[in-house]
Amino acid sequence: MITCTHQKLIFKHMVELPHCECVFCSTQEEGTGRSRIYLIFKERQKAYHRNGLKGNWEEVTDMEEHANIWEGFEQAIMERKIPSFIASTPSLAF
């Protein structure tokens, strides 16, 4: 039997991607130190984590993990203590 415990996430960096309406976040699990990256879609209230073994993004469907991500995300935005950036696309001149 495999047990899955959800560690508190410490948000390290955030990059807002306005053209995709999402935020790319790097995090670290407080207890294990394990790094994780997420794509968070604020308007749709969805989060995806990167599966490095499969090379794809997977939606976070576990309700406890989802709540843990959103709690850390909202706290990081409110505290404004981590590096945060907004990615912009250069305007194309013809």
Task: Give the span between the Cα atoms of 48 and 68, in whole angstroms.
Answer: 13
Question: What is the pLDDT averaged over residues 64-68?
Answer: 92
Considering only residues 91 and 27, tell me which one the structure prediction assigns the higher pLDDT: 27
Rounded mean pLDDT, 5-31: 88
**Are residues 66 and 60 in contact, defined by beta-carbon separation less than 8 angstroms?**
yes
Which residues is 15 bridged to in the sheet? 24, 85
Q: What is the pLDDT of residues 25-41, one digit of tens each?
A: 999 998 899 999 999 99
Residue in the structure block whose two tokens are 């508190």: 8
Cβ burial, residue 9 (10 Å; 0-12/13-18/19+)? buried
pLDDT value at position 67? 93
